[in-house]
Amino acid sequence: MLRKISFCDLNCDLGESFGAYAMGNDESIMPYISSANIACGFHAGDPLVMAKTIQLALQHGVSIGAHPGFPDLAGFGRRNMQMSPAELHAAILYQAGALKSMTEAFGGTLQHVKPHGALYNTAAVNFEVAKTIAEAVKKLDGSLILVCPAHSEMEHAAKSIDLPVASEVFADRAYNDDGTLVSRNIPGAVIHDPAELNERVLRFIKEQVVVSISGKLIPIQADTICLHGDNSMALQFVKNLSLIFQKEGVVLKAMNKR
Amino acid sequence: MLRKISFCDLNCDLGESFGAYAMGNDESIMPYISSANIACGFHAGDPLVMAKTIQLALQHGVSIGAHPGFPDLAGFGRRNMQMSPAELHAAILYQAGALKSMTEAFGGTLQHVKPHGALYNTAAVNFEVAKTIAEAVKKLDGSLILVCPAHSEMEHAAKSIDLPVASEVFADRAYNDDGTLVSRNIPGAVIHDPAELNERVLRFIKEQVVVSISGKLIPIQADTICLHGDNSMALQFVKNLSLIFQKEGVVLKAMNKR
Amino acid sequence: MLRKISFCDLNCDLGESFGAYAMGNDESIMPYISSANIACGFHAGDPLVMAKTIQLALQHGVSIGAHPGFPDLAGFGRRNMQMSPAELHAAILYQAGALKSMTEAFGGTLQHVKPHGALYNTAAVNFEVAKTIAEAVKKLDGSLILVCPAHSEMEHAAKSIDLPVASEVFADRAYNDDGTLVSRNIPGAVIHDPAELNERVLRFIKEQVVVSISGKLIPIQADTICLHGDNSMALQFVKNLSLIFQKEGVVLKAMNKR
Amino acid sequence: MLRKISFCDLNCDLGESFGAYAMGNDESIMPYISSANIACGFHAGDPLVMAKTIQLALQHGVSIGAHPGFPDLAGFGRRNMQMSPAELHAAILYQAGALKSMTEAFGGTLQHVKPHGALYNTAAVNFEVAKTIAEAVKKLDGSLILVCPAHSEMEHAAKSIDLPVASEVFADRAYNDDGTLVSRNIPGAVIHDPAELNERVLRFIKEQVVVSISGKLIPIQADTICLHGDNSMALQFVKNLSLIFQKEGVVLKAMNKR
């Protein structure tokens, strides 16, 4: 039975600039989203960028999440790296912990943690890595929400230790028939056409399905929709989604505000 | 009028190892001190070293402080660096914030913040730098104690915004007649002789004075005694101080436990 | 006696991207310049960016220089840093040495070394720092040219050890009456108006003078004109200069090709 | 037919200190070896350490090799990292290129390149990675020797492009029956007993075989013997080997001096 969604969270990766290096379009995008995943200085971001992005999110009433990644600025956290469970556990505590303290210093509350890039992809399919992350998040604060792909090992790991989870659907990424993401190396993996994006999101809102790259309908249970801030179309995409949500009567609401 | 001290805090810089690089003697020294200044990953330390050092401190009932420094691992935070007030503010929030969250994750509470190396020395004499640090600490948590040299600009800055301070005396560093530290470039700046150290500490305990490098008596009001963990004599020094304290009836007590 | 210039070198800072972080407009600017100052991975650039920029320069017959800076990616090498002479000597050997070997690996020859940002500014006025840099460059290869401001301590230091120098005039920076650059903190320090830039360059070509910010004529002996690649007008500037050079019969020629 | 070796190269990883962090025992070990693998600043070492280690090697007539690794100081280059062929190619050019230029600046000549840690282990079994490294070394200088395990993919890759190779046998590591190294995770993988080490080296010198961990005799063709500088027994080991070589009439000779 199809059920139309009445409220929706929209999350976006922000705070990815570093020193003199600008990335993304944070000020323009922030007004249109409900949750911000803020980089923590390991794969992107720096303390000053973090402070500014936190304040920007608070100004717009956007809920704040930590976006920890591998310690690999040169690779933007998109290269896989071998880390021992103890190293990874500490790296999550450090990154998400820094963002948590900074958010609280500016009067906010940390809502969620969402791993970035290669760490996200590995944790999605590797239970041990996922469990290490989930345990670190829980140790930091058991009410934090772990954002992860629906039906992933990350979701299983979080549930196995009673850590709150929010599963997400990607608005701008193509899906395989089995519900996994099409690899970025394959043409069509990232969606750049606004009309296609709109249709995909509408379909998800109305029927909670996505159409796979081969045309198959895949049912997706998701608590939040993710848009990539570094997609060149990001700003137009969030503006379009805003109009769709308005027209369809979907209320933009952060995952911790339900 | 001379007043003998009845309790005393002993603080030491720890957690300065990095990856495969070992530094200091944390496990041996921890049982003898009451406050640990733990490096936060910018000039020394890494997330895993921080996690281990926090747990070691908690096991020994040692109070925990953040020891933030300049972002200069290659220079161990001992080289001066130009940072804008906004950059420095954010760097303190980030480093002390990470250690604060991690300490709380392991069931502890952050007691104090003490800047490291070149940042400490600059803040001691530069009110603007000191104020930037003090404001960041206060923003993080107004009950945190800023550890600084007695009568320094750092002390003035902290007091000007009602941030708790603890002034410190250095057990293993020689003093100039004006109460400032003898530069490390001058012979005799660092004390390596246990007998000399013992006598200096005894003098401070009994009379609250230190003898300057020229032989002058300098009155020092201090809430905590600092020993450098990277002094090759550090372990013997803390053992000796432990015996002196016992004999003189001085109780070792962290600065936040009075 | 005024002497019109018949050939001219145009140098520009390039190769300043880092990993996923793009900076500048290297491919568009390269065809219009004769010498490229390529960042060496300490304040900007990374090995892959260096390799690509070297190859791009070689394709366009542009002479290659190393552009070493302070080890401060977060500050883009624009923050002053304390380094011992031995540390600085080794840092120059390492950075310029890496670029030299890479340039030779791709079939080119390193022409010059030009320090970047805060290191350039400090070396311009501090003889000891300048001498340390000049000695490292000479040790690497005594035929390398050190690019520096006319009449600076860097020029003096290089000449004192018989290292070839090329003095430069800045096309897009305002000058004080004493021939030093107007600080970037003062309005008007950086020139963004194409007409003004053209007039300044014409004046320099025809009369070897620049007009100071107060209107005074300053004679400048310069072997090369510098344009900043990160100036938002950089591409238009180099295109205009190309037209001026053509019209005035000035031949664009790298400093080592005379 | 057994053939006793009459000369032998002994290579050791040195220059692994970083800033204030000391590692190894370079000054004591240098007199006893013929080839030094010097870290290049990515996984260990820094420009000043490199400059000092190069000069130390030259003083002792020790041949110099570059020891490039993954860009992972926190993991000492022992954690596997995903790098694209283009990134890896450039990283080798940069690291070995920096050491090459520095060695030449101090009057020496680079003899060889030997990858470090996880990069060495991956290249030993992965032809594509090995080929990328070999090509970068050849591009830098076709007469450089690539040091690699006997019969490894690295050896095959180097030979496929006519790059000189030197195969090595490890004095302080246990071997599996198939000639691969016993993993460091398995007890007995690293040899700490001087008598055992001496016997193994004698056996290799006299018969060119090593005894595997199960007792099997493995024939090994090797041009150089490797000792790990961070083995706590390293200094005693090299002293013992020196005596053995003397007694057996084996001349210590760098790989490029035959």
Q: What is the pLDDT of residue C1?
A: 41
Position C2 in a domain? no
pLDDT confidence of residue D223: 92
Confidence grade of residue A258 (pLDDT, cut at 50, 70, 90) = low
Chains that touch A (3 or more CB pairs under 8 A): B, C, D
- D79-107 pLDDT, tens per residue? 999 999 999 999 999 999 999 999 999 99
D76, closest residue in chain B (CA to CA): B20
Out of A71, A74, A75, the one facing D74 most closely (by C-beta) is A71
Distance from the Cα of A86 to chain D's closest Cα (Å) equals 13
Answer yes or no: are the C-beta atoms of B103 and A101 closer than 8 Å: no
Interface test with C, best of A21, A72, A73 (most C CBs within 10 A): A21
Residue ranges with strand state E in C150-196: 165-170
Q: Provide, as residue numbers in chain A, all residues whose Cβ is less than 8 Å from the Cβ of B140.
A: 101, 105
Tokens encoding C101: 């070997």
At D51 the pLDDT is: 98
Q: Is the dihedral of CA A47, A52, A56, A61 positive or negative?
A: positive
**Integer Cα distance of C130 and C114 in angstroms:** 11
CA distances from D57 to C133, D37, D65 (A): 24, 10, 10
Q: What is the pLDDT of residues B107-137, one digit of tens each?
A: 999 999 999 999 999 999 999 999 999 999 9
pLDDT of residue B258: 67
Contact B124, B136 (CB under 8 A): no
Per-residue pLDDT tens digits for D57-87: 999 999 999 999 999 999 999 999 999 999 9
- Is pLDDT at B238 greater than 80 in this prediction? yes
Beta strand pairing call for C63-67 and C110-113: parallel
CA atoms of C83 and C70, how far apart (whole Å): 9
Which amino acid is located at A145 in the chain?
A: I
Within 8 A by CB and 6+ apart from D222, the residues are D150, D167, D168, D169, D204, D208
pLDDT (0 to 100) of residue B230: 74
Please give the residue of chain A at the shortest CA–CA distance from D78: A82
Residues of C in contact with A117 (CB under 8 A): none
Find residue C9's DSSP bridge partners.
C224
Ramachandran region, residue D46 (left: φ > 0; alpha: ψ -120 to 50; beta: rest): beta
Parallel, antiparallel, or unpaired for β C63-67 and C35-39?
A: parallel
Interface test with D, best of C53, C84, C93 (most D CBs within 10 A): C93
**Shortest alpha-carbon distance between residue C17 and chain A (Å):** 8
Chain B positions in Cβ-Cβ contact with residue D73 (cut-off 8 Å)? 18-19, 73
CB contacts, 8 Å: A73 with chain D: none
C-alpha D221, offset from chain centre: 15
Residues listed for chain A: 258
Q: Write the Ramachandran bin of A133: left for phi over 0, alpha for psi from -120 to 50, otherwise beta.
A: alpha
Partner residues linked to C113 by β-bridges: C66, C146
Q: What pLDDT was estimated at residue D150? A: 85
Domains of chain B: total = 1
Mean pLDDT, residues C119-133 taken together: 97
Residues of D in contact with B116 (CB under 8 A): none
- pLDDT tens, position by position, A85-107: 999 999 999 999 999 999 999 99
- The answer to whether residue B7 scores a pLDDT higher than 90 is no
CA–CA separation, D173 vs B51, rounded Å? 32
The answer to whether D72 contacts A80, with C-beta atoms less than 8 Å apart, is: no
Q: What does the alpha-carbon distance between residue B155 and residue C239 come to, in Å, rounded to a whole number?
A: 56
How far apart, in whole angstroms, are the C-alpha atoms of residue A85 and residue A104?
A: 28
Are C76 and A46 inside 8 Å of each other by CB?
no
How far is CA B136 from its chain centroid? 18
Would you give the distance in Å from CA B205 to the centre of its chain? 18
* Cβ-nearest to B82 among C71, C80, C83: C80
DSSP string, B94-116: HHHHHHHHHHHHTT--EEEE---
For residue A4, the model assigns a pLDDT of 77
Interchain pair D83, A81: CB under 8 A: no
C-alpha to C-alpha distance for C128 and C126, rounded to whole angstroms: 6
- Two tokens, residue A252: 């933009």
Residue D158, pLDDT score: 98
> What percent of chain A stands above pLDDT 70?
98
Does some domain include residue A1? no
Name the interface residues of D facing C (CB cutoff 8 Å): 41, 46-48, 50-51, 86-87, 89-91, 93-98, 100-102, 105-106, 139-140
> In Å, how far is C57's CA from the nearest CA of chain B?
32
Residue B190: phi and psi, rounded to 5, are -110, 130
Distances (CA, A) of C68 to A172, C73, C150, C252, D161: 40, 12, 19, 25, 33
Dig out the tokens for D59 from the structure. Answer: 């003083």
Instruction: Considering only the C-alpha atoms of chain A, give the largest distance between any 2 of them, rounded to a whole number of Å.
Output: 51
Q: Above pLDDT 90, what percent of chain B?
A: 85
pLDDT digits (tens, 9 = 90+) for D236-255: 999 999 999 999 999 999 99
Can you tell me the mean pLDDT for C157-185?
92
Tell whether the torsion through CA atoms of A13, A14, A19 and A22 is positive or negative: positive
- Chain B contact probe: residue of C82, C129, C185 with most B CBs at under 10 A: C82
pLDDT at B58 over 80: yes
Q: Pairing mode, if any, of strands C165-170 and B7-14?
A: unpaired
Q: Say if the Cβ atoms of C97 and D93 lie within 8 Å.
A: no
CA A75 to chain centre: 19
Cβ separation A97–B97 shorter than 8 A? yes
- Token couple for A52: 């500014």
3-state secondary structure A118-142: HHHHHHHHCHHHHHHHHHHHHHHCC
* C212/chain B closest Cα distance in angstroms: 29
Task: Find the domain containing D211 and state its range.
Answer: 7-257
Q: Do D118 and A82 touch (CB under 8 A)?
A: yes
Residue B1 lies inside a defined structural domain of this protein: no
Greatest Cα pair distance, chain B, in angstroms, is: 51
Predicted pLDDT at B1: 42
Residues 6+ apart with CB under 8 A from C209: C203, C217, C218, C219, C220
What are the two backbone dihedrals, phi and then psi, of residue A212, each rounded to the nearest 5 degrees? -75, 170
Q: Which residues contact C146 (CB under 8 A, 6 or more apart)?
A: C112, C113, C114, C133, C134, C137, C154, C158, C163, C164, C165, C166
By CB atoms closer than 10 A (0-12, 13-18, 19+), residue D59 is exposed
Chain center to CA of D256: 14
Tell me the pairing of strands C35-39 and C7-14. Answer: parallel
Q: For residue A112, which of A68, A60, A58 has the smallest C-alpha distance?
A: A68
pLDDT digits (tens, 9 = 90+) for C6-62: 888 999 999 999 999 999 999 999 999 999 999 999 999 999 999 999 999 999 999
In contact, B15 and B48? CB cutoff 8 Å: no
CATH number at residue D251: 3.20.20.370
The C-alpha of A114 sits at a distance from chain B's nearest C-alpha, in angstroms, of: 17
Q: Spell out which chain C residues touch chain B, with contact meaning CB-CB distance below 8 angstroms.
A: 71-72, 74-75, 79-83, 87, 118
The Cβ of residue D53 has, within 10 Å, a number of other Cβ atoms equal to 26
Is the pLDDT score of B93 beyond 90?
Answer: yes
Whether residue B2 lies inside any domain: the answer is: no
Contact B82 C71 (CB under 8 A): no
* Class of residue B120 by CB neighbours under 10 A (exposed 0-12, middle 13-18, buried 19+): buried
* Per-residue pLDDT reduced to its tens digit, D175-206: 999 888 888 888 989 999 999 999 999 999 99
Within a domain: D1: no
Amino acid at A233: M
> Which residue among A47, A90, A91 sits closest to B91, beta carbon to beta carbon?
A47
Torsion from C-alpha of B190, B194, B195, B197, nearest 10 degrees: 50
